[in-house]
Amino acid sequence: MTEKFSPDKIKGEVINIIVSTLRIPKEKILPESRLFIDLDAESIDMLDIRYELERAFGVSISDGEIRESIAIAFPGENIPEKMTVDSIMKFMEYKLSAE
């Protein structure tokens, strides 16, 4: 059974993981910050973020699952444009509610 995480706890964990992985100041991260465009994340960074999300929340995230959830939420849109801090938080909220 997965521990219950409040939206604030999820937000805090996601931000901490992004700060740690991308080695950027916390102040630079806003919900609308785009990981690849505004925060200069690379594909390898997303693997690290995924691993840290799995570890922090005790869930399994398959390859491409985050990207697929964004593609479903924004059909026909450019994924790097929509891969925001907020979209990662919403993905984790959904993922944890499904556990």
Share of the chain above pLDDT 90, in %: 76
Q: What is the DSSP string of 12-59?
A: HHHHHHHHHHHT--GGG--TT-BTTTTS---HHHHHHHHHHHHHHHT-
CATH of the domain at 82: 1.10.1200.10
Residue 21 resides in a domain: yes
Q: In this structure, is residue 28 part of a structural domain?
A: yes
For residue 70, how far is the Cα from the chain centroid? 10
Of the candidates 98, 60, 65, 58, the one whose C-alpha atom is nearest the C-alpha of residue 83 is 65
How many Å apart are CA 82 and CA 7, to the nearest integer? 20
What are the pLDDT digits (tens) for 4-33?
899 999 999 999 999 999 999 999 999 999
- Structural domain boundaries enclosing 74: 7-98
87 close to 70: Cβ distance less than 8 angstroms: yes
Mean pLDDT of the region 74-97: 92
pLDDT at 1 over 50: no
